[in-house]
Amino acid sequence: MSDVWLAVLVIGMVTAAIKIAPAVWLGGRPLPDRLEGVVALLAPTLLAALVTVQTLGADGRAVLDARAAGLITAGAAVAVRAPILAVAGAAALTAALVRALA
């Protein structure tokens, strides 16, 4: 089975379990405060890490390239609350232009 399909199947099942189990089996009892704090921080931590790696990572190194320019445009688009497809499109367009002009 390819990596992709393995990931798709396992992630699908685990995600469903994460959404269902607490509601059905643990019903009512809250997470210990400290654990809840950690869980709440997981998304911002990981998303920020992903932004970093996706912008600067290339073949096991950190490089500054057209993607960074795209990210700046994306930042502006997010600031004006553009729809997500426009944010992605703006970044792609910027990166493509930078590459074409460089």
Partner 1 sequence: MPLGVAAFTFGVSFGVLARGAGFDGLSATVMSATTWAGSAQFASASVLEAGGGAAAAIIAAVLLNARYGAMSLALAPSLRGSPVRRAATSLGLADETWALAAHGDGRFDPGRMVGAALVMWVGWVAGTALGSLGGDFLGDPKSLGLDAAFPALFLALLVPQLRSRPALAAAAGGSIVALVLLPVAPAGVPIIAAAAVALLGLKRPR
Q: Which of residues 28-87 bind partner 1 (CB under 8 A)?
A: 28-31, 33-34, 36-57, 60-62, 66-67, 69-71, 73-75, 77-78, 83-85, 87
- Distant-in-sequence, close-in-space partners of 95: CB < 8 Å, separation ≥ 6: 66, 67, 69, 70
What is d(CA 102, CA 65) in angstroms, rounded to the nearest whole number?
Answer: 10
Nearest-CA neighbor of 10 among 24, 22, 18, 44?
A: 18
Report, in Å, the least distance between residue 29 CB and partner 1. 8
Residues in contact with partner 1, counted by CB under 8 A, come to a total of 81
What angle is formed at CA 98 by the lines to CA 97 and CA 99, rounded to 5 degrees? 90
CB of 62 to partner 1, least distance (A): 5
4 scored as a contact of partner 1 (CB under 8 A) = yes
Min CB(22)–partner 1 separation in Å: 4
Q: Does 102 bind partner 1 (CB under 8 A)?
A: no
